[in-house]
Chain A
Amino acid sequence: MTGGNTGMRPVLIFALIGTVFMFGAPYVLQLFTIINLTTAIALAVLALSLALVWGFGGILCFGQVAFFGLGAYAYTMGAINFGGSTWAILVAILVSSAFAAILGYFVFFGRVSDVYLGVITLTVTLIFFSLIRRTSGPEFKIGIAQIGGFNGVTSPPLNLPWDTSSFLFPEQVFYVAMAALILCYVFCGWLMNTHFGRVCVGIRENELRAELLGYDSRLYKLGIFTISAGIAAIGGVLFCNGVGRITPDVFNLYNAALTIIWVIVGGRGTLIGPIAATFGLFYLTSALGGQSTLNNNLVLGVILIFFVLLVPKGVAPTITDWVARRRRPRKASRRARRTMRRDEGSNA
């Protein structure tokens, strides 16, 4: 696992690549690919949120999809009630963060840790799954929006800010999604270079030491947990736009597992790794859906075991280490100079 302080430069480089992709993709890729990419991007935002809370905060949240799904539902309910998506997006982020804050208070101030925290978050996810599945019927509604039970509910598409008559088409939502992903990514990168972010990494490394330095680890954990829930909610908003619908399935065990897989494949302690892994595995699962020789569960299971056993750090950190090992002997002095500059810059 790498330290949290990697500086902003790689973050900005990847953000630039993302921006180029965002404007270039529509001229290279087919329409259906662009439309379908929205879903992948939404899931990448979800992976990013887990990369933040698990990879940097050290909090193993099995139920990150709970915040993702909650965001999607809150957006859908909000957009139906308000007749537009602008406020609904804010509501989604707020609802999800607020819920995370309450749940986080409950667990972090109760000093629930490790695997027990994982169980509680997973359980909360399963409660959503069970409860929302049974909300079919007219008596279950929020405002004028029916919750829809097992079948789920149609999510209104995004519209231009405060212009409820101009809905975006799926291929246009792609731009919004990509921009949101880039912004969330830069935000997370920036956050990890702030005092707050570094303390979070410190707590991940050694909670007692952070406490002995006078940091209340509970507050920091609560903070990063809440922020990551808000980011997951943004992913949820994009997701229900990409799919056009939100169903309780979003809360199921398979999706909870998949989120963990993205982060472990991409690498804990990096932000770009899980994003890249999401796109890679999304492509893979889509490709698997077009064939019927290999069972998909089989393939996913093998990937997960393979990574845990042989590439436990995940792809991104393994590549970084490999590059670093190859460069170190010859370019040690240059690297030291660069590190120094980087530190000066990020401490400012």
Chain B
Amino acid sequence: MTLSRRHFVMGSSALALAAPATIARAQSDNIVFASILDLSGGLDIYGAPMAETTRMAIEDINAAGGLLGREVELKMYDAQSTIQFYTQFATQAAAGDRADTVHAGITSASREAIRPTLARFKTLYFYNTQYEGGVCDYNNFCTGSTPAQTVAKIVPHAMNKWGKKVYIVAADYNYGQITAQWMQRFVAENGGETLDVEFFPLDVTNFGPTINKIQTAKPDMVISALVGGAHVSFYRQYAAAGMLSEIPIASTTFGVGNEQKLISAEEGNGIMASYGYFEGIDTPANKDFLSRLEAKLGADRPVINELAIRSYEGAMLWAAAVREAGTTDRDPVIEALRSGLSYEGPSGAVTIDGQTNHCSMNVYIGELADQEWSIVDSFENQPPADTQLVCDLNQNPNQSTFLFENGLAAAGIE
């Protein structure tokens, strides 16, 4: 093959956006808001509620007259639980739809697949999922809670209530491992002892051997960072072995996919969890949000969890920034966001932390009773302390890395 060198644009910063002259302009004068989520395949359990609240956010914005006098158009893509579709739809959204913002991604893998694409096309990116923390990217706003926000609160709360000896079970992948590391750290900081940490592949459904091990170790409590549909079996089998009444469970992952509805009341009663949102938050904003959602989707609406609420609030944060900046251009909007923009939503006040492009938020601790979370404690305005340890975008605005990609130790955290 002979290819003239003219076709290859050299250098690492120059953008080749201008190369082919045939890029279509955006089809209309609408502001384009793109969403890419897994609405089918193994991850749709998370994606489906996020899609509902995203739709509701766009409807709310348009009902309030749109932005800057223009209507906001929602382009929604189903990545089908496949990473390659994230890259593909991100490219399509950024270069094809000329989206003004892209709200996308559930797993960290999906986020990492699209982050470089959107950075390259200078398209503003929101990641509205709770995750292991550590993204340090000027173009990327992470609105979900990170382990230091939730684990830091639930560990002392649970240890005060149940005792100092802890057994950790976690999903065997990046998120589970990093969360388990934070759990160990906060257990130690609060004077407790971690008896054992055990990791499980995401498709394990038989937890019998582990339940034996827990019985051997006799901890005061089990902390779980198990994730996904298969791991729900743990809670069932744990309860079936009569363990739930003997050794209680705390978790920062149980409930991410509304697991409390997948097990029966007896199997879940007493499980403690910590998130940035529970439906039971007693504020007018939250009640109004839920009643409007119910009016829209009917009584069998999905249970709203942190993933779903951040999808709504992330869209609202962006809308607020556009109003403040008076434009949808990326740079002014980013500046508006980073100036410490705050949005008072169903979960309380959510404030952008300019150092990390993450959010300070309220953190709640809930206990499960009859498949419903009841809030037992809450903490206002918790900063993303873990990411703050390693990331400072005020100092290095050009940074665009995922610092916890290889675990905490690689990022210099012990």
Residues on B facing A (Cβ under 8 Å): 1, 3, 7-10, 12, 16-17, 19-20, 22-24, 39-41, 51, 75-85, 87-89, 91-92, 94-96, 107-109, 112-113, 116-117, 172-175, 177, 199, 201-202, 405-407, 409-410
Contacts and interface: CB of A to CB of B under 8 A. Distances in A.
Given A30-B22, A30-B24, A39-B88, A292 B16 contact: no
A243 B172 contact: no
- Choose among A31, A130, A152, A290 the residue with the greatest number of B CB atoms under 10 Å from its CB: A31
B357 to A, nearest CB: 19
Interface string A148-171: 111111100000100001111111
A287 to B, nearest CB: 11
Contact of A297 (B3, B41, B107): B41
Contact of B79 (A30, A133, A153, A289): A289
12 contacts: A32-B91, A32-B96, A136-B177, A138-B409, A146-B405, A151-B108, A243-B83, A254-B81, A289-B89, A292-B76, A296-B78, A297-B41
A26 to B, nearest CB: 5
A27 B22 contact: yes
Those 5 A-B pairs whose CB atoms lie nearest each other, nearest first? A150-B173, A32-B95, A32-B96, A136-B174, A179-B1
Contacts of A290: 75-78, 89
Contacts of B81: 254
A291 to B, nearest CB: 8
Given A26-B20, A30-B23, A244-B116, A150 B109 contact: yes
Contacts of A27: 20, 22
A151 B109 contact: yes
Given A39-B88, A148-B406, A239-B84, A292 B109 contact: no
B8 A160 contact: yes
A36 B8 CA distance: 18
Interface string A170-207: 11100100010001000000000000000000000000
A32 B97 CA distance: 9
A52 B79 CA distance: 30
Contact of B173 (A134, A179, A292): A134
A151 B174 contact: yes
A137 B406 contact: yes
A39 B116 CA distance: 16
Contacts of A160: 8
B20 A292 contact: no
A288 B8 contact: no
Interface in A58-80: none
Contacts of B83: 152, 243, 245, 247, 249
A295 interface: yes
A101 to B, nearest CB: 28
Interface string A81-117: 0000000000000000000000000000000000000
Given A146-B406, A243-B87, A289 B80 contact: yes
A149 B410 contact: no
Contacts of B87: 39, 242-245
- Choose among A29, A130, A133, A169 the residue with the greatest number of B CB atoms under 10 Å from its CB: A169
Interface string A34-63: 111001000000000000000000000000
B22 A136 contact: no
Given A150-B109, A169-B9, A130 B201 contact: yes
Interface of A: 26-36, 39, 130, 133-134, 136-138, 141, 146, 148-154, 160, 165-172, 175, 179, 183, 239, 242-245, 247, 249, 254, 285-286, 288-292, 295-297
A160 B5 CA distance: 10
A139 B81 CA distance: 28
Contact of A289 (B22, B85, B173): B85
Given A32-B96, A134-B199, A134-B201, A151 B84 contact: no
A149 B174 contact: yes
Contacts, number: 159
B318 to A, nearest CB: 22
Contacts of B16: 169, 171-172
Nearest to B203: A130
- Choose among B76, B94, B202, B407 the residue with the greatest number of A CB atoms under 10 Å from its CB: B407
Contact of B109 (A34, A167, A245): A245
Nearest to B177: A136
A160 B10 CA distance: 10
Contacts of B80: 285, 288-289, 296
A35 B88 CA distance: 8
A243 B109 CA distance: 11
- Choose among B83, B107, B177, B202 the residue with the greatest number of A CB atoms under 10 Å from its CB: B83
Contacts of B12: 167
A168 B9 CA distance: 7
B25 to A, nearest CB: 11
Contact of A286 (B8, B19, B88): B88
Contacts of A245: 83, 87, 109, 112-113
Given A32-B91, A32-B92, A292-B51, 8 more contacts: A27-B22, A30-B96, A133-B173, A134-B173, A171-B16, A175-B7, A243-B84, A288-B78
Contacts of B40: 295-297
Contacts of B95: 30-32, 35
Contacts of B7: 172, 175
Contacts of B109: 150-152, 245, 247, 249
Contacts of B78: 288-292, 296
Contacts of B41: 254, 296-297
Contact of A242 (B17, B75, B84, B410): B84
Contact of A171 (B20, B92, B108): B20
Contacts of B1: 175, 179, 183
Contacts of A31: 17, 19-20, 22-23, 95-96
Given A34-B20, A168-B8, A243-B83, A289 B406 contact: no
A129 to B, nearest CB: 9
B177 A35 contact: no
Contacts of B39: 292
B108 A254 contact: no
Nearest to B117: A244
Contacts of A137: 177, 406-407
Contacts of B199: 134
A138 B173 contact: no
Given A243-B113, A296-B80, A133 B405 contact: no
Contact of A133 (B9, B24, B172): B172
Nearest to A298: B40
B34 to A, nearest CB: 11
Contacts of A169: 9, 16
Contacts of A249: 82-83, 109
A314 B12 CA distance: 45
Contacts of A29: 22
